[in-house]
Amino acid sequence: MLSIEEHELHTRCLIKYLMFVNGKFCKDPKMATANDFSFSGLNIPRNTGNRVGSNVTLLNVDQIPGLNTLGISLARIDYAPNGGLNPPHTHPRATEILVVVEGTLYVGFVTSNPENRFISKVLYPGDVFVFPFGLIHFQLNIAKTPAVVFAGLSSQNPGTITIANAVFGSDPLINPDVLAKAFHLDIKIVNYLQKLFGGNSE
Amino acid sequence: MLSIEEHELHTRCLIKYLMFVNGKFCKDPKMATANDFSFSGLNIPRNTGNRVGSNVTLLNVDQIPGLNTLGISLARIDYAPNGGLNPPHTHPRATEILVVVEGTLYVGFVTSNPENRFISKVLYPGDVFVFPFGLIHFQLNIAKTPAVVFAGLSSQNPGTITIANAVFGSDPLINPDVLAKAFHLDIKIVNYLQKLFGGNSE
Amino acid sequence: MLSIEEHELHTRCLIKYLMFVNGKFCKDPKMATANDFSFSGLNIPRNTGNRVGSNVTLLNVDQIPGLNTLGISLARIDYAPNGGLNPPHTHPRATEILVVVEGTLYVGFVTSNPENRFISKVLYPGDVFVFPFGLIHFQLNIAKTPAVVFAGLSSQNPGTITIANAVFGSDPLINPDVLAKAFHLDIKIVNYLQKLFGGNSE
Amino acid sequence: MLSIEEHELHTRCLIKYLMFVNGKFCKDPKMATANDFSFSGLNIPRNTGNRVGSNVTLLNVDQIPGLNTLGISLARIDYAPNGGLNPPHTHPRATEILVVVEGTLYVGFVTSNPENRFISKVLYPGDVFVFPFGLIHFQLNIAKTPAVVFAGLSSQNPGTITIANAVFGSDPLINPDVLAKAFHLDIKIVNYLQKLFGGNSE
Amino acid sequence: MLSIEEHELHTRCLIKYLMFVNGKFCKDPKMATANDFSFSGLNIPRNTGNRVGSNVTLLNVDQIPGLNTLGISLARIDYAPNGGLNPPHTHPRATEILVVVEGTLYVGFVTSNPENRFISKVLYPGDVFVFPFGLIHFQLNIAKTPAVVFAGLSSQNPGTITIANAVFGSDPLINPDVLAKAFHLDIKIVNYLQKLFGGNSE
Amino acid sequence: MLSIEEHELHTRCLIKYLMFVNGKFCKDPKMATANDFSFSGLNIPRNTGNRVGSNVTLLNVDQIPGLNTLGISLARIDYAPNGGLNPPHTHPRATEILVVVEGTLYVGFVTSNPENRFISKVLYPGDVFVFPFGLIHFQLNIAKTPAVVFAGLSSQNPGTITIANAVFGSDPLINPDVLAKAFHLDIKIVNYLQKLFGGNSE
């Protein structure tokens, strides 16, 4: 049988899940308040003082429990001036549509094999762009001022796979020979990249 | 057989539809450009000089053809100072999540029968709120300055049913006896409302 | 941790939910009987002695647990003679198809913005009509005898939003200024309607 | 290129299909009338003078074009007195829920391997029964009077596979050795059954 | 309240179910191992020494818990030489696509009413065939050597309904009069078949 | 209006698409043959004499038109001895389940942010492994003999994004500064990789 802690963990997962399942509340009165459907503070600029110079604040079903089964979430993304980059990534369960609030962004996505077409554009405030379901995409701040966007994603839990981190920084690390061959890189470069991206496994 | 015009109409519907269907392009080269996935001008304040004092700019699959089958759309909503109202409405095919860019909004939604619970909150810049699939909701500007939000909707064609317009302003009008009985209103008031909201049928 | 009562509540929700999830029974022997898939008494005329003169008996997953995840439910609707009305409402999660068993009904639905087209018809015994997903619709008995229909709905829990009740009778009430502005009604009429429809919150 | 006839055929398929796809009309004015959402004559008893003594009148998207993409259909089924049988069949794309309008029916369905549990019940007027998605089910009139039901099905095109006809009466016929082995029947009986059920292939 | 045993049963169902629901782990560390996503031994020929001369090894969510919510499963099917038969059956929740690894198979499916078209082919090693969602299909080994296929199915829990077993071997048995009438068989033959296929109910 | 060629192109897309849409044939007789549901030659070893030493033969809706809307496809993958690699890739619209027919494979996938857990295993003949929807995964032949697998994918058009090709070999190329920053690589290495992988754009 499960321990108390395991049981409580699973029960909490369960309660959250059942809230809206099939469009039915399980009628837990604590669930049905405005707080389950709201979140505050998305007006506050995020710290972009990291290696890539960007910061994603995603509000999914973990932050807003009322989103469960409703198929949508929302994000704010901040970009540092002069090259702040939301690096190439995919959302395994969502399309993304963003609107630029301020700044100038070079954005794009790549279609699947065999074409691998790169569809890109420079965006200014008020511009909107769509990144289709599951495709690799990125945004780069090409101006001297910060940039900010809001984005809708078509899942209550879209997930994010940052390509560099998943490939070179997984836990545990992927056998470097695989990556050297796949990316046509010298094994020493792979080792170097794995040390760099694999920090969270040390 | 169809006339040329009808045929062309349907062919255009078809082409747009087939673009991404099953995740497959029909490889019409004109489709696969950045323009099919973008839109400009959402930074420009909209005119709120109408009766309710609000203006919704929805970018769905008609404005951004690349959204087709991707299950998401995006809107900007402007509210006039001192009572600009996005009046009670539903989206028959979408949940909505919005973030307040500026202003102070009193927002809420009503759950279905028999509870008809009204879940509401006052929102400030940076606040986020969710309006679940198909439920009646509204937003009211309660400050002396304009308000603006961006909203994600979980469909490429969410649809909007403004309750007052659909009920009192349909084309043709609903038999006024139905509405008098349903809303417990004097028939003269129904006649007055139908004249008011039914303008587009004259 | 949850109290015993809360735990039992959630466990019961859970069991019902898991019954057919992914097409898999959790093999609770009590579930797999004919009673989980049946209901009796839909031949008995319902009492229509209420303000609107109609009575909806909906058999959804709460009445027939075996419906869970199966995407359908069934209703009987009775209408009083001379104006029995199933007032304007939406099903946030279902299309409805009905067949008239007896009586003469004036029925219709309104399409979404901006057309708000009203599609209506007078129905006689044996006539069938479809109310598409999420649209506002109603049925009115226009004969001197009672009317009865059976209706299929495309969800095991379609939900019903009676417009007048959700708008004027929510719990708590919507700020009357919102409704006065949205429906172009004098505030006194809104107050009157809220007193009328909001009875269940007193 | 397609002949005129082929082209027209496909165009008609297309138009019907596109009507509601993604919840979007292609705005063919002929489509948006009440006739696209209605059907008449389901009150008229059907002829049950056939071998099995039953008659199914299914209103799917072919009879009611407005049903397209809406996920529901409706049927009337008539049963002859003293053994009228809607023989064992499946709906490959739908769950069915029926209500008995008149008569006494012995109904049931069989769950999948390995249990093959037979869940059955005798139904009287006003009784409701659910036949879950894809399972084999039947209804038998066990009274001396005719029986009638109305049924909702969770697809605009549920499909029907009558087991005996699909197995013994396909076009062309299945190799009789397959059926003899599968059903443990003498080859002569298979030949006899194939002659009986395969009439439509001659 | 539930007994300990019932509780544990439901909790285990729950845990398995919640693993990937909405693409979200409930972060039970025991779940996230390679063993939850793998299975061994599908290279070993299965025993086909049974009445029909075939053996299906289906790996669904019960064998590979990581499949939950992922919508796919995999099977190995072995056929005895000289007539090993995977008898007519349906998968109520899946399409099947198979590839012949060795042997010669006569395969086919029957479309739904009213056409009941039988689409068949003789397959050799390396041949692939599709059995569409919910249709009756079978495979017969027509060579003097064993045959083996691998098959993908489009559900983590496709289900299987073997027609002969569900019709003649259900538990409890279907009233033989129903089957005699449906299949146009003498009641004695039905009784014989029910004795044969209904073994598991004795 | 469209040119003849464009029209024919779109009509062909249309015909293929409509074949099974909503489970409905448009009754084009040419469609309903066994050839629309089959494919031959998957027993023939593929040439693995390329840079990575692997070869994927995917049978999706383009090779087997009858798969349309049925949600599944099938692949054979060949791996060269001593390091044949199916390099890191995702399927934007599918989960994959494979069975090893011959050889020894080191396989794995990486979960999404922030964990980026690498789940891996060495597989032998008869071993089965699941690569969940949208996650990065690969297979490496670690033996001195060729390897072969069959794989089912949960979409009729799963799509494949080979990470190295989409990132470094898109058409046109992604701005190398983006990739240098994202992957922490010297710009010269990026230039070198883009020359290597971008061959198809020259």
D99-120: buried (b, 16+ CB within 10 Å) or exposed (e) per residue? bbbebbbbbbbbbbeeebbbbb
CB distance D137 to D96 below 8 Å:
yes
Predicted confidence band of residue F201 (pLDDT cuts 50, 70, 90) = very low
C73 vs B66: which has the higher pLDDT: C73
What residues are paired with D85 via a beta bridge? D140
| Whether residue F117 has pLDDT greater than 70 | yes
Q: Torsion angle, CA of E106/E110/E115/E119, rounded to 10 degrees?
A: -30
CB contacts, 8 Å: E33 with chain F: 119
Q: What is d(CA E149, CA E142) in angstroms, rounded to the nearest whole number?
A: 14
CATH architecture of E46-159: Sandwich (2.60)
Q: Do chains E and C touch, with touching meaning 3 or more CB–CB pairs less than 8 Å apart? A: yes
CB distance E167 to E181 below 8 Å:
no
Question: What letter does residue D27 receive in the DSSP assignment?
Answer: -
- Residue numbers of A between 137 and 196 with CB closer than 8 Å to B: 150-154
pLDDT, tens digit, 9 for 90 and up, residues B94-136? 999 999 999 999 999 999 999 999 999 999 999 999 999 999 9
Low-confidence stretches of chain E (pLDDT < 50) are 1-30, 201-202
What is the rounded average pLDDT of the residues B19-26?
A: 37
For residue B26, give the chain F residue with the closest CA: F13
Dmax (CA) of chain F? 59
Q: Do chains F and C touch, with touching meaning 3 or more CB–CB pairs less than 8 Å apart? A: no
- The owner of tokens 């009438």 is E181
Show binding-site residues of E for oxalate: 86, 91, 96
**A174/F183 Cβ within 8 A:** no
Q: What is d(CA D99, CA D92) in angstroms, rounded to the nearest whole number?
A: 21
Q: What is the DSSP string of A97-155?
A: EEEEEES-EEEEEE--TTT-BEEEEEE-TT-EEEE-TT-EEEEEE-SSS-EEEEEEESS
- Find the angle CA(C141)-CA(C143)-CA(C145) to the nearest 5 degrees: 95
pLDDT of residue A10: 36
pLDDT of residue D27: 38
| Whether residue D16 has pLDDT greater than 90 | no
Cα–Cα separations (whole angstroms), residue D96 to A89, B22, D92: 44, 28, 11
Selection from E119, E117, E126 nearest residue E98 by Cα = E126
- Length reported for chain C: 202
What is the rounded average pLDDT of the residues D182-199?
A: 94
**F112/A159 Cβ within 8 A:** yes
Residue D25 burial (10 A CB sphere; 0-12, 13-18, 19+): middle
Tokens of B67: 């959204």
Least confident range from B2-11, B61-70, B98-107, D48-57: namely B2-11
**C23/E93 Cβ within 8 A:** yes
| Whether residue D111 has pLDDT greater than 50 | yes
Q: What is d(CA B118, CA A68) in angstroms, rounded to the nearest whole number?
A: 19
The minimal CB distance from F156 to the residues B4, B22, B27 is found for: B22
Omega before residue B172 within 30° of 0, cis? yes
What residues are paired with A162 via a beta bridge? A89
Q: Best mutation site among B154, B155, B156, B157 for testing chain A: the one with the most A CBs within 10 Å?
A: B154
Listed in sequence order, the residues at least 6 apart from C75 whose beta carbon sits closer than 8 Å to its beta carbon are C56, C57, C58, C59, C150, C151, C153
**Sequence spans of domains, chain C:** 46-159, 168-201
What is the rounded average pLDDT of the residues B61-83?
A: 93
Q: Is the ipTM here above 0.85?
A: yes
For residue E68, give the chain C residue with the closest CA: C22
Tokens of E157: 């829990």
Is F86 one of the annotated binding-site residues? yes
CB distance C45 to C102 below 8 Å:
no
Chains that touch A (3 or more CB pairs under 8 A): B, C, E, F
Chains that touch D (3 or more CB pairs under 8 A): B, C, E, F
- The owner of tokens 């080191």 is F106
pLDDT of residue D4: 33
Task: Tally Cβ neighbours within 10 Å of residue E144.
Answer: 10
**C68/A23 Cβ within 8 A:** no
C100-128: buried (b, 16+ CB within 10 Å) or exposed (e) per residue? bbebbbbbbbbbbeeebbbbbbebebbbb
CB distance D70 to D152 below 8 Å:
no
Is B102 one of the annotated binding-site residues? no
Q: Do chains E and B touch, with touching meaning 3 or more CB–CB pairs less than 8 Å apart? A: no
Q: What is d(CA B139, CA B88) in angstroms, rounded to the nearest whole number?
A: 8
CA-based nearest distance B95→chain A, Å? 6
CB contacts, 8 Å: B28 with chain F: 6, 9-10
Q: What is d(CA D117, CA D109) in angstroms, rounded to the nearest whole number?
A: 8
Tell me the count of B-D CB pairs closer than 8 A. 35
**A90/F134 Cβ within 8 A:** yes
CB contacts, 8 Å: F181 with chain A: 52, 83, 85, 87
pLDDT of residue E202: 36
Predicted confidence band of residue D32 (pLDDT cuts 50, 70, 90) = low
CB contacts, 8 Å: C7 with chain A: 11
Tokens of E13: 């169902």
For residue D158, give the chain F residue with the closest CA: F23
CB contacts, 8 Å: B58 with chain C: none
CB contacts, 8 Å: E108 with chain F: 34
Q: What is d(CA F88, CA F109) in angstroms, rounded to the nearest whole number?
A: 9
Selection from C89, C90, C73 nearest residue C37 by Cα = C73
For residue B159, give the chain D residue with the closest CA: D23
Phi-psi sector, D184: left (phi>0), alpha (psi -120 to 50), beta: left
What is the rounded average pLDDT of the residues B15-33?
A: 43
**B9/D14 Cβ within 8 A:** no
| Whether residue F24 has pLDDT greater than 60 | no
| Whether residue B23 has pLDDT greater than 60 | no
**E9/C26 Cβ within 8 A:** yes
pLDDT, tens digit, 9 for 90 and up, residues C144-175? 999 999 999 999 999 999 999 999 999 999 99
For residue D1, give the chain F residue with the closest CA: F8
Tokens of C66: 């075996």
pTM score, whole prediction = 0.90
The minimal CB distance from F43 to the residues E38, E126, E152 is found for: E126
Rg of chain A in Å (alpha carbons): 20
| Whether residue C84 has pLDDT greater than 60 | yes
The minimal CB distance from C129 to the residues D38, D100, D101 is found for: D38
pLDDT of residue F66: 87
Low-confidence stretches of chain A (pLDDT < 50) are 1-30, 201-202
pLDDT of residue E160: 97
Q: Do chains A and E touch, with touching meaning 3 or more CB–CB pairs less than 8 Å apart? A: yes
CB-based contact (8 Å) between B26 and chain D?
A: no
**Angle formed by the axes of helices A187-197 and A176-183, to 10°?**
120
What residues are paired with B79 via a beta bridge? B54, B147
CB contacts, 8 Å: B76 with chain A: 99
Least confident range from A10-24, C84-98, D25-39: namely A10-24
Q: What is d(CA D78, CA C1) in angstroms, rounded to the nearest whole number?
A: 56
SS3 D47: coil
CB-based contact (8 Å) between C38 and chain D?
A: yes
CB contacts, 8 Å: A26 with chain C: 9-10, 13
pLDDT of residue F59: 97
pLDDT of residue E69: 83
pLDDT, tens digit, 9 for 90 and up, residues E23-52? 333 334 345 699 999 999 999 999 999 999
Rg of chain F in Å (alpha carbons): 20
CB contacts, 8 Å: D69 with chain F: 22
Q: How far apart are the first and last CA of chain C?
A: 34
Q: What share of chain F is helix, strand, coil (3-state, %, to 5)?
A: 25, 30, 45
Strands across the sheet with E147-153, in order? Answer: E54-59, E73-79, E147-153, E96-102, E128-131, F38-39
**C41/D70 Cβ within 8 A:** no
SS3 of chain C? CCCHHHHHHHHHHHHHHHCCHHHCCCCCCCCCCHHHHEECCCCCCCCCCCCCCEEEEEECCCCCHHHCCCCCEEEEEEECCCCCEEEEEECCCCCEEEEEEECCEEEEEECCCCCCEEEEEEECCCCEEEECCCCEEEEEECCCCCEEEEEEECCCCCCCEEHHHHHHCCECCCCHHHHHHHHCCCHHHHHHHHHHHHHHHC
Q: What is d(CA A69, CA A153) in angstroms, rounded to the nearest whole number?
A: 13
SS3 E8: helix
CB contacts, 8 Å: C71 with chain D: 71, 95, 154
pLDDT of residue E65: 86
